[in-house]
Amino acid sequence: MCRFKCKLFVTIFLLQIIGILSSRNCQHEDPIVRTKEGKVRGVIDKLVDGSTYYRFRGIPYAVPPVGDLRFKAPLPPQSWRGVRDASNFGNICSQFNQTYQGDEDCLFLNVYTKTLRRNAKTPVMVWIHGGSFSQGSGNFFLPDFLLQHNVILVTLNYRLEVLGYLTLDTPEVPGNAGMKDQVAALRWVQNNIEKFGGDPNSVTLFGESSGAAAAVYHMFSPMSNGLFHKVIAQSGSYDLARREGEKERAFRAGKVLGKDTDDPQELLDFFRSLEASKLTNLTFATLTDDERFRGLPAKFVANIEKKFANVQPFMDEDPTKMLVEGSINKVPLMIGYNSGEGLIMTQFHAALLDTYNNQPSYYVSKEIVDKISEEQLTDFGNRIKRFYVGDRDITKDDLATIRDMQTDIHFSYTTHRFADLYSKLSSQTYMYRFDAVTELNAIKNTLNMPNVGGVSHADELFYLFYNYLNEKPYKEQKRLRDLVFKVTKLWTDFAKTSNPTSGGVEPVWKPYTVSGKEFYIIDEQFSHGKYADKERMEFWNKLYEEAGLPHISKS
């Protein structure tokens, strides 16, 4: 199981980001901006549409988290004298695979803007990259499509996997270092973005997959309150947050690396003695037997911290409880999923069908498992299997069925539930389903399953960010350029006005309501509907209801 999940993990990462760094022909003027910490020199560049913009890369937003600062919350950035070169990217954060090996000194961000006028008040969009909290970088996402609509794009790097999300339940290592990195980046934006032409009072957090989960976590964090004003969550919600077991995972990681101890301080000293590269690729090595078959391959993730004196937590309450009680940063929200998220998992899942056919209880989410008996777990698993295929086993020919199961288990139901619960707190809740299948769907095209419908996990990224995988069809086909323009206009109009169709895109995108469950269908012909994938959502909703968990309200 580990081998297949590892391949899936690397596939998602590589296909999302590899090759996005493209060479550009730049002019030779050097724009200089004075930030709070010192001057930075950027570059004047050209977007794919030929218009001019300014880019500033590799700006430090915190002190390097190395040495005794490893695993701790980030410290504010240090000042410098003279002019700092911001023409090149900073290091990506420590990770290791066949293509990239990062560095522990990695807390850098990038700013892309079409104006440097101090009073321009341009809306700001801060991108949080995905990668299961273990891989990826903000460096890999370029601004060409979004900047056509006169916004500022900020991308950032944050600590990953063990270095970013180790939890020892101690004041020294309470967890969430990677989330606190993001908070530090948002504080930098508040302190400095006006000098790049941006509006610190109009900051939209947006992200995909684990990046979407991260954006949503900030809605639950008192540490982030006031640092952002809108959220766009693409194919991710808050359900990855861990409630228990993370301290035990830390000790399993120590054992894998050669330190078998039950003393948190001894383990911390050991981890601090290692090279950063040793503290990567430990997710799969620390899986429990149950985790090898249940859930997504993201385990070093945001956690609900224990409370300690003089330690400011990122999040110390259960997010579901906070949501139900309304204890959340109430901002306009745009949230959605792709129609065939599970496409990227079908081939790997098909290779493990013997296990899932014999023990369909692995289809039950961990959130439900924690609330039900063993007898109920068996019953729920059998009901799930029966709902999708009837009284037979799933076969390798059931790719569409596997696609739907994986989509519903990991993405669509949790998206629906969050939209439904949150809409009771905010009338500015917008839900979408991304249905566009074109030559731009790089993930689906790479999977080579032309006869299986739907939009794969991460496919919408190629309608938002320009890269070598979508360059050829984008340049050759006007209908695709028009579609990209319309999709990015939805995103940027929401960032500007809290309404994704305020700029005249038709039809009007209606907010989600409990009674109507409205959603927007994003394909080559935009449309709207009510209660996306209703039959499947009603099935899962009954399971969550029977488990005593918050669930989608009746229409």
The residues that are catalytic are 209, 341
Name which of 352, 366, 474, 343 is nearest 414 in CA terms: 366
The neighbouring-strand residues paired with 33 are 40
CB distance 508 to 501 below 8 Å: yes
28 Ramachandran zone, left/alpha/beta (phi>0; psi -120 to 50)? alpha
State the DSSP code for 49: T
Beta-carbon-side half-sphere exposure of residue 492 (alpha carbons within 13 Å):
24
By CB atoms closer than 10 A (0-12, 13-18, 19+), residue 373 is: exposed
Residue 507 preceded by cis peptide, ω within 30 = yes
Q: Which sign does the torsion angle of CA 224, 228, 231, 235 carry?
A: negative
CB atoms within 10 A of CB 130: 26
Q: CA torsion, points 531, 533, 539, 545, in degrees to nearest 10?
A: -40
How many C-beta atoms lie closer than 10 Å to residue 287's C-beta?
20
Helices 343-350 + 399-407 axis angle, to 10: 120
Are 361 and 381 a contacting pair, CB within 8 Å?
yes
Element (H, E) at 367: helix 366-369
User: Given the structure tokens 């095209």, which residue do they identify?
Assistant: 445
Q: Is 476 helix (H, G, I), strand (E, B) or coil?
A: helix
Joined together, the tokens standing for residue 225 give 């309150």
Judge contact between 154 and 109, C-beta under 8 A: yes
Name the residue with tokens 């961990």. 366
Contact 391, 298 (CB under 8 A): no
441: closest CA among 431, 450, 428, 432?
450
Measured distance CA(494)–CA(275) in Å, rounded: 43
Helix then strand then coil, in percent of the chain rounded to 5, is 40, 15, 45
